[in-house]
Amino acid sequence: MIVAAILKKLKNACTDLLPIVLVIAFFQIIVIRQPLPQIGEVLFGTLLIVLGLSLFIQGLEMGLFPIGEAMAQALARKGSLFWLLIFSFSLGFSTTVAEPALIAVAAKAADIAGRGALIDPSPESLKSYAFGLRMSVAFSVGLAILIGVLRILRGWPIHYLIIGGYVLVMLMTTIAPKEIIGIAYDAGGVTTSTITVPLVAALGVGLASTIRGRSPLTDGFGLIAFASLLPMIFVMGYGLLIFK
């Protein structure tokens, strides 16, 4: 039975990967008209991707989803709003603060700000700028999950919050220094990592299915949306505060 399950996962992973292989082959052969460099390495790498993706999905079903939902239900049953909110904030903050994509973006942003003479271009000041940026993004993701969980508990309609967020983003865009805008918009997309997303989704759905009167579909989703919106506002806000 385990073997059949693994074979099925491997087959699915191959299907998931097929489009990328086709696109690259098409452009390499038809458009650029050059032979593939290091074909052996590429094939070996593709094999690793297929194996990795199958294992990841198997682990998702066995470990990440159940633990996320079990914790959401246990916290909801405990009935302590305080601990639930602490958990939500810590989940957002702790998974974002060490996120490699965020570290890369923050360093890049510091570099740009330094070159644009928006901050003092000495290495220490760049480092402290990048650190501050990372902290403000991690804080904003924590806050976003907290607000999202509060929304599920109280049953607030999601669109008012999101549209309000959009209006704030636009307002901040008009006053923020233009060097920071591109990075701020991108920061929203890079904060949610591959392990955070399943956990956060399971948390939302688990909560919404435990609390009476909430539908898992309309109320359980939406946490990730907050986690990609708030960082934009915070990164622009940080730019406004720091830049001279």
Partner 1 sequence: MEFIKDFSVIFFATCRDVTPIVLLIAVFQLLVLRQKIPHLKRVVIGGVYVVLGLALFLAGLEKALFPLGKIMATQLSDPAFIYGTADKILTHADWTAYGWIYLFAAMIGFATTIAEPSLIAVAYKANEVSAGTISTWGLRITVAIGVAFGISLGTFRIVSGTPLYLYILVGYLIVIVQTIFAPKSIVALAYDSGGVTTSTVTVPLVAALGLGLASTVPGRNPALDGFGLIAFASLFPIIAVMGYAQLMEWKTKRRKK
The footprint of partner 1 on residues 132-161 (CB under 8 A) is: 158-159
Q: How far apart are the first and last CA of the chain?
A: 64
Determine which residue in the list 44, 81, 122, 171 makes contact with partner 1, applying CB under 8 A: 44
Residues numbered 102-121 forming contacts with partner 1, rule: CB under 8 A:
112, 115-116
Q: b/e map of 18-55 (b: 16 or more CB within 10 Å)?
A: eeeeeeeeeeeeeeeeeeeeeeeeeeeeeeebbeebbe
| In the block, residue with structure tokens 């865009």 | 173
Q: Is 45 or 131 the residue whose CB approaches partner 1 more closely?
A: 45
User: Does residue 235 interact with partner 1 by CB under 8 A?
Assistant: no
User: Does residue 217 interact with partner 1 by CB under 8 A?
Assistant: yes
Closest listed residue to residue 147, CA positions, set 214, 92, 211, 205: 92
Q: What is the DSSP string of 125-173?
A: HHHHHHHHHHHHHHHHHHHHHHHHHHHHHHT--HHHHHHHHHHHHHHHH
User: Does residue 178 interact with partner 1 by CB under 8 A?
Assistant: yes
Determine which residue in the list 49, 85, 135, 153 makes contact with partner 1, applying CB under 8 A: 49
Closest listed residue to residue 185, CA positions, set 230, 140, 243, 141: 230
Largest Cα–Cα separation, the chain: 64
Residues numbered 67-106 forming contacts with partner 1, rule: CB under 8 A:
67, 70-71, 74-75, 78, 83, 87, 90-91, 94-95, 97-101
In whole angstroms, what is the distance from residue 229 CA to residue 118 CA? 25
Shortest distance in whole angstroms from residue 120 CB to partner 1: 18
Determine which residue in the list 7, 29, 61, 175 makes contact with partner 1, applying CB under 8 A: 61
Determine which residue in the list 126, 139, 143, 198 makes contact with partner 1, applying CB under 8 A: 198
| In the block, residue with structure tokens 């392990």 | 195
Shortest distance in whole angstroms from residue 168 CB to partner 1: 11
Q: Is 17 or 211 the residue whose CB approaches partner 1 more closely?
A: 17
Shortest distance in whole angstroms from residue 241 CB to partner 1: 20
Query: What is the pattern of x (binds partner 1, CB under 8 A) and - over residues 8-27?
Result: --------xx-xx-xxx-xx
